[in-house]
Amino acid sequence: MSRPIPLVDVKAQYAPSIPALQERFAAVLESGRFIFGPEVEGFEREAAEFLGVPHAIGVGNGTDALVLALEALGVGRGDEVICPAFTFYATAEAIARAGATPVFADIDPETLVLDPEDVAARITSRTRAIVAVHLFGRPAPLAELAALGLPLVEDAAQAFGATGVARTGVCSTFSFFPTKNLFALGDGGLVTSLDDDVAERVRMLRFHGSRDKQTFELIGTNSRLDAIHAAALRVFLPLLPGWNAARREAAARYAELGLGELVELPLDEPGHVYHMYVVRSPRRDEIASALAAEGISSAAYYATPLHLQPAMRFLGYEPGSLPETERAAAENLALPLWAGIGATEQERVVDAVRAAVGVPA
């Protein structure tokens, strides 16, 4: 069998940066500053400048980022927050952890992100906010969602560097899990905000509700971006535009290789940064089996969407209640893609898909 092809090759991205990482890590070790300090402050400043926002606050992970953003907005018991069900569990989990009730809206079948019309139909007197997920690197329809007149939180865990992200919602949240477009070498997260007061509450909430470790004004938590991760992120952030451009080039190559004759390709648009390359087919499971037989990794995402997950049964959703979400859950398949994937590897992927669906070259 040929060399296996992973879904994402993280090491291929960071390997050229190992000397720079070692130098930066050595400086952190020499400083003895592992909590907050100049590396975290430097990354927060550089991330804010990169994203074009006034505030960026490092936190422990992307899930905490969502919880802290919602809490800083005052979301709590008795509130409803609208979000998609075709996303990672943390989106709804964060709403519940903040004390509110997730209300699931359906998605646009072409883009797989929130359908603003369905969101509008689910707004009630208890709706406190909307969480828009930028899914697989594609920005959600921010202008249309913001026009609904509710506080908007952008779940941008999968879309660092995507066009327009973080410049509409009052808060935006990011994950630096190692498979993300911008990644740490472990868990890490970020909250950005356009509002000075909200940003200050996030800073306090991540540090036990305190400004100075002496006086505690809020019930907070302990969620901080470690200095060693911030150091790595400072090495990687200048490389991100090139990495995202390489992801877009790889996505275009899949189309050029004829993959669109075999499966439904993700709709391209200039702001899409392809955190994952997700196609659709009613024969998804056959294709995945054929790829595995050739040593090619793939993944079906959110095969049980959030409204049908055991932990969310108390909300009362039934199969068929979000038809586009459920169809996407049954048909989607992520194919190998990362910054630097080779044309030969992509050709092998397309050949395997072609053999699976029985379409001649």
Band of residue 2 on the pLDDT scale cut at 50, 70, 90: confident
Mapping DSSP to helix (H, G, I), strand (E, B) and coil, where does residue 296 land? strand
Domains and CATH numbers, the chain: 11-105+112-238 (3.40.640.10), 240-357 (3.90.1150.10)
Contacts 24+ apart (CB under 8 A), 103-106: 103/127, 104/306, 104/307, 104/315, 104/317, 104/322, 104/325, 105/322, 106/322, 106/323, 106/324, 106/325
In the predicted model, is pLDDT for residue 197 greater than 70? yes
Predicted local distance difference test score (pLDDT) of residue 186: 94
Contacts (Cβ under 8 Å, ≥6 apart) of 280: 263, 264, 328, 331, 332, 333
What integer pLDDT is reported at residue 361 of this predicted model? Answer: 63
Confidence band for 358, pLDDT divided at 50, 70 and 90:
confident
Q: What is the pLDDT of residues 232-253, one digit of tens each?
A: 999 999 999 999 999 999 999 9
- Return the number of other C-beta atoms located less than 10 Å from residue 64's C-beta: 26
Residue 214 burial (C-beta neighbours within 10 Å; 0-12, 13-18, 19+): exposed
Cβ within 8 Å of residue 302, ≥6 positions away: 86, 87, 88, 328, 329, 332
Tokens of 288: 């995945």
pLDDT averaged over every residue in the chain = 97
| Structure tokens that stand for 148 in this block | 């609904």
Run of H or E residues at 124: none
* Average pLDDT of span 114-135: 98
**pLDDT above 70 (res 1):** no
pLDDT tens-digit readout, 291-307? 999 999 999 999 999 99
pLDDT at 359: 72
The C-alpha atoms of residue 332 and residue 326 are separated, in whole angstroms, by 10
Residue 255's contacts (CB-CB under 8 Å, 6 or more residues apart) are 265, 268
Asked whether the beta carbons of 40 and 58 are under 8 A apart, the reply is yes
